[in-house]
Amino acid sequence: MAKNDLLGASLWDAYSNKVTTLMNNPQHQGEISEEEAASRGNKLIVADFGAESCGDAVRLYWEIDPKDDRIVNSKFKSFGCGTAIASSDVMTELCIGKTVDEAVKITNIDVEFALRDHPDVPAVPPQKMHCSVMAYDVIKKAAGLYKGVDASSFEEEIIVCECARVSLATLKEVIRLNDLKTIEQVTDYTKAGGFCKSCIKPGGHEAREYYLVDILKDTRREMDEEKMKAAADAGIKGNFEEMTLVQQIKAIDAVIDENVRQFLVMDGGNMEVIDIKKGDEYIDVYIRYLGACSGCASSTTGTLYAIETTLKEKLSSKIRVLPI
């Protein structure tokens, strides 16, 4: 049947020729029976995996030579769309001839890449990338059954984007190294979120434990906290007087966060830095008490002394704290 008989040319153009060929003519579809495997002295593993997000499912057959754990034959049955059939067929082909330990290293990226007509052109549109993820998951399921372990034991990292196989550690590292500030930048650098987009934020076709929006926000917060601490550390080394006003406020906030604020909050209060004025003899730090601290008797005695002493010790002996 011609492509244009069913869908517009633009949609079909998003699929490689290899995908469209294997949709209708898979090379490894079928099944292997226990009797067949046993007659050759091999062990049969049958693994099922279904994707809740789209209702597709795949059954993978591995005939394994127990002498060296090598997959000597493999078949599949796919219950789903044409892309799932093509992905499962290539996944099955990639498994044949490999040991179980080698096969479990096959990822959905390998499956999708093997379906490409050209190395630089994706084989399927972004919303269909999950089909190759299903192929990857059923491999882990089969390996777990053969080894008698849970399939999750083969996953050494926390994978945030299943489509692009991008881990949590990689995302945090890339955000930090490149000072990324937007989700678009994260996708450009890592490809995470560039396919089915379920990992970007809640509400996609599949619920995730981690989302890019939260990872970016949390990592940026950690980076800001580290910068403030670095500014505070610079002050500890005697450079506080040379900082800009903004740097001084951040340095003071960092010291307060680490040494004082938790005690103020425990009593229902807090504080904020209003201004800093440099004089010949003193560096006056003007603060405002918040909450319960604003009416507390010790705000001008014990609490004030503790704040000023801490800032003098950590940043500069010239600091004088003045509540307003």
Model pTM score: 0.54
Is 131 designated active site? yes
The predicted pLDDT at position 51 comes to 64
Q: CA 150, CA 154: separation in Å to the nearest integer?
A: 8
Same-domain check for residues 209 and 245: no
Same-domain check for residues 97 and 47: yes
Q: Out of 54, 95, 163, 293, pick the active-site residue.
A: 54
Residue whose tokens read 């881990």: 167
Same-domain check for residues 317 and 200: no
Same-domain check for residues 80 and 193: no
Same-domain check for residues 19 and 130: yes
How many Cβ atoms are within 10 Å of 9's Cβ, its own excluded?
8
Q: CA 321, CA 273: separation in Å to the nearest integer?
A: 10
In a domain, 62, yes or no: yes
In a domain, 228, yes or no: no
b or e along 93-129 (b: 16 or more beta carbons within 10 Å of the residue's beta carbon)?
A: bbbbebebeebbebbbbbbbebbbeeeeebbbeebbb
The full DSSP string for 9-21 is HHHHTTS-HHHHH
Same-domain check for residues 278 and 319: yes
In a domain, 229, yes or no: no
Same-domain check for residues 188 and 118: no
In a domain, 204, yes or no: yes
The predicted pLDDT at position 93 comes to 96
CA dihedral 182→187→192→197, nearest 10 degrees, is: 80
Q: CA 124, CA 87: separation in Å to the nearest integer?
A: 10
In a domain, 210, yes or no: yes
Same-domain check for residues 120 and 9: yes
Both structure tokens of 142: 């089969």
Q: pLDDT digits over 257-280, tens only? A: 888 988 898 888 999 999 999 888
Q: CA 237, CA 239: separation in Å to the nearest integer?
A: 6
Domain count, the chain: 3
In a domain, 20, yes or no: yes
In a domain, 101, yes or no: yes
* Residue that is last in its domain, among 99, 133, 154: 154
Same-domain check for residues 115 and 10: yes
The predicted pLDDT at position 10 comes to 56
The full DSSP string for 132-171 is HHHHHHHHHHHHHHHHTS-GGGG--S-EEETTTTEEHHHH
Q: CA 61, CA 153: separation in Å to the nearest integer?
A: 21
Same-domain check for residues 111 and 9: yes
Strand partners, 276: 285
Both structure tokens of 166: 């991008």
The predicted pLDDT at position 232 comes to 59
Same-domain check for residues 19 and 144: yes
The predicted pLDDT at position 286 comes to 96
Q: Out of 95, 131, 163, 199, pick the active-site residue.
A: 131
Q: Are 40 and 130 in contact (CB under 8 A)?
A: no
Same-domain check for residues 262 and 124: no
* Residue that is last in its domain, among 99, 123, 154: 154
* Residue that is last in its domain, among 175, 192, 222: 222
Instruction: Tell me the CATH number at 27.
Output: 3.90.1010.10
For 199, the domain range is 166-222
Question: Residue 222 belongs to what H/E stretch?
Answer: helix 212-234
Backbone dihedral angles phi then psi of residue 128, each to the nearest 5 degrees: -105, 5
In a domain, 181, yes or no: yes
With a cut of 50, list the residues of the chain below it in pLDDT. 1-9
